Amino acid sequence: MNRVFLFLIFFFLLLNLNAQTCCSGGVPVSGNIGFQSSEAKILQLSVGGDFNFLNTLFSERTKSDDDLRKRRTQSLLIRSAYSFTKRFSVETLIPLVRQTRRITTNQGGEDVESSLGIGDPLILFNYDLLKKPFNLRVGVGPQIPLGAYNKKNDRGILLVEDLQPGSGAWDFIFFSSIEKRLKSRPTGLAYFNSIYSMNGVNDDSRGGNQTYKFGNDVQLILGYSDQMLLLSKIITPGLALRYRRANRDEIDGIVSSGTGGQWLFLKMTGGIKFLNENSFTLNVEVPLFTHVNDTQLSSDLIVNVSWSKRFDFSKKIKHKKNEKF
């Protein structure tokens, strides 16, 4: 647990640095869901930091030489999943997000705007339709509008919507996952996840002067992970492709310029397992393809580091039953 506290201290120190998301970036909730399937009475916990570096300006698919604008996101993601039965489980995600935009003028000055706050938490209800010959899971749940959407800058002006921690609207997430263990290598796992975000409308945007809707979002993730022994430790390498398509945002029902687009990322994963079901994981994503609508800053690098732990309550329940006899 000392490692966990050190990680949290390190993360909050990083929050003092500059961070932000792009217009089509959003708080990183839907892209970070999907624990692996488990048996009944299993609790999985995860605490992680997600860092999104957006330094490159694109006009559709063309890179620009403009390096005067920088955006980042830094997010603390607290995740959990509990399997009530072999098929039914509930997953939660609570984000704490720091977002910042930095613009450098030609005269050398800087304009910086940022926000820090709890984002909109997610509750996802999952059900495993199949266990064999492969695991097929579907899930649905709300993203609850608890995050602030009316934060102001140091001049008392409302921040733009994509700088706010919350959306101010009820969103719904639809999730599906296919997992298959390989016969030739039982430790290998091939998987395909699809995530669809159906975003609601904030009727109270800009103090009630307009409505705002973030564009619906779909993500498709195809990957492979494995386990192997290295110096008496179990390591878990993995590789995946993540495709994301975001529709344009809407203001008062009219599409907003400079929002939405398509991206393809290569995701590289490395993890290590410790005693007592503890593990640390590092994910690194780099863009292979970028096509934004109009002109936007886009991600150059996404880094995610997390600690996770698995608790098996089925053993405790069985032990208590045996004690009665």
pLDDT digits (tens, 9 = 90+) for 60-80: 999 988 888 899 989 999 999
Closest to 194 (Cα-Cα) out of 218, 215, 170: 218
Ranges of beta strands (E only) in the chain are 42-59, 62-63, 69-83, 88-104, 110-118, 122-130, 135-143, 171-181, 189-198, 202-204, 210-213, 217-225, 228-230, 233-235, 238-246, 250-251, 254-255, 261-273, 278-292, 295-312
**DSSP 8-state assignment for residue 215:** P
Find the mean pLDDT for residues 181-190: 90
Q: Judge whether 174 and 210 are in contact, CB under 8 Å.
A: no
**DSSP 8-state assignment for residue 86:** S
Burial of 156 (0-12, 13-18, 19+ CB in 10 A): exposed
Residues 6+ apart with CB under 8 A from 139: 91, 124, 125, 126, 127, 173, 174, 175, 176, 177
Total residue count of the chain as it appears in this document: 325
pLDDT digits (tens, 9 = 90+) for 144-172: 999 999 999 888 899 999 899 999 999 99
Give the integer Cα–Cα distance in Å for 30 and 193: 11
Specify the higher pLDDT residue, 170 or 16.
Answer: 170
pLDDT digits (tens, 9 = 90+) for 226-252: 999 888 889 999 999 999 999 999 999
Residues 6+ apart with CB under 8 A from 207: 150, 158
pLDDT for 24 equals: 53
Per-residue confidence band for 38, with pLDDT thresholds at 50, 70 and 90: confident
- Taking the CB of residue 127, how many other CB atoms lie within 10 A of it? 13
Q: And the tokens for 204?
A: 């109270």
pLDDT for 324 equals: 53
Q: Judge whether 165 and 147 are in contact, CB under 8 Å.
A: yes
pLDDT for 145 equals: 95
Closest to 45 (Cα-Cα) out of 247, 298, 312: 312
Rounded to the nearest 5 degrees, what angle is found at the Cα of 96, between the Cα atoms of 94 and 102? Answer: 145
Domains of the chain, start order: 2-324 (2.40.128.130)
Find the mean pLDDT for residues 168-186: 93
Name the average pLDDT for the chain: 87
